[in-house]
Amino acid sequence: MNVSRAWLAGAILIGCSQHATAQQQAQRPQIETTKVEGTDNVYIFRNGNHQAMFVVTGDGVIATDPVAYGRPTGGQAYVDEIRKITKAPIKYLIYSHHHFDHIAGGKAFKDAGAKIVAHQRATQRLKQLQDPHTPLPDESVGNGGRTIKLGGTTLELKYVGLNHSDSTLVMRLPKEKLIFVVDLLPVGRMPARGMIDFYPLEAEDSIKKILAMDWDRLIPGHPDGIGTKKDAQFQLQLLQDASAEMKKLGQGGKCWDTAEKEFQLPKYATLPGYANGLQFVARRYCGLWGRGT
Ligand SMILES: [Zn+2]
C-alpha cells in the first residue's frame, strides 16, 4: 500500500467512526435538535436526511435552511424547536444555496419576523421560479459576502464562486471556528444526484479557498457527522481523481455511453453511496471532458 492509499484508508476509517450506521438512522426520530459540542449557542436542526445550523444569541436567533421540501409542516416544526430553546426573536433565515430540498418551507420564519438572506443568484432564480413553498429573500448578498453581527455572535457569509451551485454561501463562525457548508462538502460520502448542476473545475477552486479559511469543524447539510479539514481535503481529492479518470475516457472519444460504462473509482469503492453515486459523477465529468461543458 503506498502512502496515498494508506492515507485514504485512514481517512475512510476516521470518517466512518463518526457516521451514524444505517440501523441508527432507521431508529432515530424524524426531527431532532442537537447542540454542537464545545459551543455555547450553536445548534443543528435535523429533519429526516437534511439538516441546518442555527445560532441563539441574547438579541435573537440566526437560522439557516428550513429543510422542508415535501414536508408541509417542516418549517413550523423547525421554528417550534427553536422556541423550545429561546423566546428571543428569530432575526434571520439564511439560505445556503437555491436548491429547494434545503430551502423550501421558510414561511413560518417569515411569519415569525425573520429577514431572509441569500446570495443574489439564488434571489434571481427564486424570482424566476416562484416556488409556492419558498419565500423570496428580503436581502441579497453579492459576491463580496456579508458579515452578520448579532448579540455577540459574528457570522460570515462568504461566496467562493461556482461549485455545487452558483449561489452557495459558506457560513463561518470565526469565534467557534465552525463552518456550515451545504452539499459542496459531503462528509465521508460519494457525491450523487447533486452532480447534475455541479461546476467541476470551479468546485475544486472553491474547496481550496474553503481549506484556506480558519476553521476546525464543518457542519454539512446532511446528517453524516461533523467534518474536519481532512474531510474537505478528501472530497477535493475524490473530485480530482474522478476528473482525471474521466479525462482519459472523454479525450479518448468514449463519452457518453462507453465512458459511462467503463468509469470506475476503485479507490473509493467502500465509500457510502459509491454504487449509486458513480453514474452521476461519471455523467457530469463526461459533460466536461467529452463535451466541453
Ligand atoms: Zn444542493
The string of pLDDT tens digits covering residues 144-194 is: 999 999 999 999 999 999 999 999 999 999 999 999 999 999 999 999 999
Residue 25 scores a pLDDT above 80: no
Query: Which grid cell is 148?
Result: 452578520
Residues 6+ apart with CB under 8 A from 57: 41, 88, 150, 151, 152, 153
Q: What is the mean pLDDT of residues 36-40?
A: 97
For CA atoms 102, 107, 109, 114, the dihedral sign is: positive
Ion ligand 1 neighbours, Cβ < 5 Å? 99, 183
How many Å lie between the centroid of ligand 1 and the Cα of residue 166?
A: 10
Residue 23 scores a pLDDT above 90: no
Domains of the chain (ranges plus CATH)? Answer: 3-291 (3.60.15.10)
How many Å lie between the centroid of ligand 1 and the Cα of residue 289?
A: 23
Bigger pLDDT: 7 vs 72: 72
How many Å lie between the centroid of ligand 1 and the Cα of residue 194?
A: 6
For CA atoms 183, 186, 192, 196, the dihedral sign is: positive
Q: What is the pLDDT of residues 245-261, one digit of tens each?
A: 999 999 999 999 999 99
How many Å lie between the centroid of ligand 1 and the Cα of residue 1?
A: 35
How many Å lie between the centroid of ligand 1 and the Cα of residue 160?
A: 15
The pTM for the full model equals 0.92
How many Å lie between the centroid of ligand 1 and the Cα of residue 206?
A: 15
pLDDT category, 11, cuts 50, 70, 90? very low
Q: What is the average pLDDT score of the chain? A: 93
Residue 239 scores a pLDDT above 50: yes
Residue 14 scores a pLDDT above 90: no
How many Å lie between the centroid of ligand 1 and the Cα of residue 164?
A: 7
The residue whose grid cell reads 439538516 is 51
Q: Name the nearest CA neighbour of 95 among 42, 168, 203, 158.
A: 168
Residue 114 scores a pLDDT above 70: yes
Q: What is the mean pLDDT of residues 32-59?
A: 98
The residue whose grid cell reads 426573536 is 89
How many Å lie between the centroid of ligand 1 and the Cα of residue 182?
A: 7
56 and 96 Cβ atoms separated by less than 8 Å: no
Residue 8 scores a pLDDT above 90: no
How many Å lie between the centroid of ligand 1 and the Cα of residue 99?
A: 5
Q: What is the pLDDT of residue 22?
A: 63
How many Å lie between the centroid of ligand 1 and the Cα of residue 168?
A: 8
How many Å lie between the centroid of ligand 1 and the Cα of residue 165?
A: 7
Residue 71 scores a pLDDT above 60: yes
